[in-house]
Amino acid sequence: MTNTSRMGVRPGRLRFLKPALQRWCHLIKDPEWSVGDGPWWYNERASLSILAGALWATGSWAFEEFATQKGKGRRSGLGRGDLLFDVHPHYFMAEAKQCWPALGRDPRSAVDRVARNLDAARRDARRLLPFYGYRRMAIVFISPRLSSSAQEEGDVRIDRFMRAMLQIDGLSLAWAFPTRRPYPTSETGYAYPGAVVAISPLRHR
């Protein structure tokens, strides 16, 4: 497996996010996590907490589950957004999704699942009513999974998946795969060797 696939950051146009994304990688790789556990095994809220921690640790602030107006016109009302944060002088309000794509020999199915979750996060983010110069953003936390039969070539499949993800234009990406073979297996029978975060700011409207 290449070093690029094991851990890395591609901030893309959001270069100011690079320090926070690098810290996120190190939080994912923190050796304090037990061999059979990690924050990426859980849900969207758990994943958001690690990203929020990375933002705080690099001098920004982050606020989860913030109150906001959602929707337009008669369909508008009070709701909650997933994450509000700043990397001064940039301000964002974000909606997030979590997905667990299975890594096959061909990465396209896993990438398609990520794309569907990005579309869903973008739809939710468009319902946020921006205020005070905040930009809207979609975030997807990705916990790739390997079946027991796929684990022998797990490193190869992770490598193919990351190469495919890096071909997608307009995404800011960070990834960390701290678990090495033999991969610890969850109660579901799958192994979850690491995590990826994909970030897509919405265009101004």
The per-residue pLDDT for range 157-191, each reduced to its tens digit, is: 999 999 999 999 999 999 999 876 666 666 677 88
Whether residue 3 has pLDDT greater than 60: no
CB 183 within 8 A of CB 145: no
pLDDT digits (tens, 9 = 90+) for 32-63: 876 667 888 889 999 999 999 999 999 999 99
- Where is pLDDT greater, at 115 or 66? 115
Q: Which amino acid is at 45?
A: R
pLDDT digits (tens, 9 = 90+) for 106-137: 999 999 999 999 999 999 999 998 778 899 99
CA distance 201 to 22: 19
Of the candidates 35, 33, 40, 93, the residue with the CA atom closest to the CA atom of residue 63: 93
Q: What is the pTM of this model?
A: 0.91
Confidence at residue 188, expressed as pLDDT on a 0 to 100 scale: 73
CB 144 within 8 A of CB 28: no
Confidence at residue 148, expressed as pLDDT on a 0 to 100 scale: 84
Whether residue 14 has pLDDT greater than 50: yes
Q: Which amino acid is at 84?
A: L
Whether residue 105 has pLDDT greater than 60: yes
